[in-house]
């Protein structure tokens, strides 16, 4: 079945550091890919998405590119802020899975001032 | 007001008790989901519904049941709660396939 694997956390960075959170997926079809963010005490909210190969999703300085050849959708940000501290989830939604959204385990990010 | 509302936000219950978690939405979406979040395990799908007459089991449905009372309402029940059902539960909605999911703020359930 479909699955999402993302790097384990926690990831601890200093403010203004470069962020990469790796995400790879397994799907039999051509899924849409998502990054969701969960701030403390809140539900998940969409950060960015990409619906086809080579698409780049971007929002709030975060970017991720849909790489079909490597089945990856890594999240990057050039300069993180303390306010970016949160849990980040990679997810996919695929026709083969009935378009259910499947989530990775989440990666907790701590940014120090 | 939130588009996806979960009640209660926090609940402590005893082993063996029946408990219902409720979810209502104002997004007008047909698709609704219940997920469970545990540390290190991410979100795991319990049940989902693609319309009022449709109920489907997710990957961890044992010990849970659901009811889709209306397009806007989707309830999750634990018939006889056990301690390993202690977790954070999220309801989510989705408009159509491949689109973004909208989440409630979660219900923290503790079974003692």
More confident residue, A49 or A9: A49
Residue A109 pLDDT level (bands cut at 50, 70, 90): very high
Contacts for A68 with CB less than 8 Å, ≥ 6 apart: A30, A53, A54
Residues in chain B where the model's pLDDT stays below 70: 1, 97-98
A49 to B103: CB separation less than 8 angstroms, yes or no? no
Is the pLDDT score of A80 beyond 70?
A: yes
Angle of CA points A9, A74, A105, to nearest 5°: 40
Strand, coil or helix: B84:
helix
Task: Tell me what the mean pLDDT of segment A31-41 comes to.
Answer: 93
Q: Give chain B's contact residues with A (Cβ, < 8 Å).
A: 4, 33, 35, 40-45, 48, 50, 56, 58, 90, 92, 94, 96-101, 103-106
Instruction: Centre a 10 Å sphere on the Cβ of residue B94 and count the other Cβ atoms it contains.
Output: 22
A44 to B103: CB separation less than 8 angstroms, yes or no? yes
Tokens, residue B81: 């709660």
More confident residue, A46 or A96: A46
What are A87's strand-pairing partners?
A: A38, A108
More confident residue, A80 or B1: A80
B105 to A93: CB separation less than 8 angstroms, yes or no? no
Task: Tell me what the mean pLDDT of segment A89-112 comes to.
Answer: 87
Contacts for B39 with CB less than 8 Å, ≥ 6 apart: none
A44 to B100: CB separation less than 8 angstroms, yes or no? no
Q: What is the pLDDT of residue B33?
A: 95
Q: What is the pLDDT of residue A42?
A: 86
Q: What is the pLDDT of residue B83?
A: 96
Task: Tell me what the mean pLDDT of segment A44-62 comes to.
Answer: 95
Residue A104 Rama label (left phi>0; alpha psi -120 to 50; beta): beta
Is the pLDDT score of A99 beyond 80?
A: no
Distance of CA A32 to the CA centre of its chain: 12
Is the pLDDT score of A65 beyond 70?
A: yes
Please, where are the H alpha helices in B1-112? none
Is the pLDDT score of A94 beyond 90?
A: no
CB nearest B98 (choices: A43, A46, A99): A99
More confident residue, A7 or B40: A7
Q: What is the pLDDT of residue A97?
A: 65
């Amino acid at each position: 079945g479909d699955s999402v694997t993302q790097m384990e956390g926690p990831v601890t960075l200093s403010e203004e550091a470069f962020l990469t959170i790796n995400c790879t997926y397994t799907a039999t079809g051509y899924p849409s890919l998502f990054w969701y963010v969960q701030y403390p005490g809140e539900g998940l909210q969409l950060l960015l998405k990409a619906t086809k190969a080579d698409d780049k999703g971007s929002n709030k300085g975060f970017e991720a590119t849909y790489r079909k050849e490597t089945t990856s959708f890594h999240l990057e940000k050039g300069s993180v802020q303390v306010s970016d501290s949160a849990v980040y989830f990679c997810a996919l939604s695929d026709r083969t899975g009935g378009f259910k959204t499947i989530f990775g385990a989440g990666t907790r990010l701590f940014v120090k001032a | 007001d939130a588009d996806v509302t979960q009640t209660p936000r926090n609940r402590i219950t005893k082993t063996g008790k029946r408990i219902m978690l409720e979810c209502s939405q104002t997004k007008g979406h047909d698709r609704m989901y219940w997920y469970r979040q545990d540390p290190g395990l991410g979100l795991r799908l319990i049940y989902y519904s693609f319309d009022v007459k449709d109920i489907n089991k997710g990957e961890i449905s044992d010990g849970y049941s659901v009811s889709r009372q209306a397009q806007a309402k989707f309830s999750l029940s634990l018939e006889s709660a056990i301690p390993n059902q202690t977790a954070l539960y999220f309801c989510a909605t989705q408009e159509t396939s491949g689109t973004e999911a909208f989440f409630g703020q979660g219900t923290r359930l503790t079974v003692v």
